[in-house]
Amino acid sequence: MDVVVHAAGVMTLAPLVDTDLDALDRMHRTNIRGTFVVDQQAARRLREGGAIINFSSSVLSLSLPGYSAYAATKGAVEAMTLILARELRGRDITVNAVAPGPTATDLFLKGKDEEAVERIAAQAPLERLGTPKDIAEVISFLAGPARWVNGQVVRANGGIV
């Protein structure tokens, strides 16, 4: 194998005090345990010169109310990514994460009305939601020519800080 991209993720939003533990467990299993297992198997199988790319989220740096459980899982993904990059020293395998901002996908759009989507889109200096193509371009860069980018989290979010 040359490249492994792990993009599976689930998100349930609620204030921490109201977060259902079953929802937390589901996010943990998918977002943390899923990344751990995929990365473990990728590290065992990737050829020299390969790349592992995980998905985090720009919500991690935004500290938005209602995102505590989801952001916690993505914080774990970022920690695994950075540590695995160092653990694979000497194998010429890069390990990075992409942290999309608001992107027009089912995961983002689910449960949001048109007004909320427009308000969030306007926050970015580019004044729009990201597209799957925007994120794919970052993945392509990390999977191909970006051999000197390693142990990084690329926040592909249109400039939302």
Counting as low any pLDDT under 50, the low residues of the chain are: none
Residue 37 within a domain: yes
Position 23 in a domain = yes
Range of the domain at 131: 3-154
Residue 160 forms part of a structural domain: no
pLDDT digits (tens, 9 = 90+) for 83-120: 999 999 999 999 999 999 999 988 888 888 899 889 98
pTM of the model: 0.93
86 is a domain residue: yes
In a domain, 43, yes or no: yes
CATH code (residue 49): 3.40.50.720
Dist CA 153 CA 88 (whole Å): 17
Side-chain-facing half-sphere of 94: CA atoms under 13 Å: 22
Q: Is residue 159 part of a domain?
A: no
Q: Which candidate in 55, 67, 70, 108 is catalytic?
A: 70
Domain count, the chain: 1
In this predicted structure, what is the pLDDT of residue 110?
Answer: 83
Predicted confidence at residue 111, as pLDDT, reads 82
- Whole-angstrom distance, CA of residue 69 vs CA of residue 3: 29
Q: Pairing between strand 3-6 and 94-98?
A: unpaired
Look up 67 and say whether it is catalytic: no
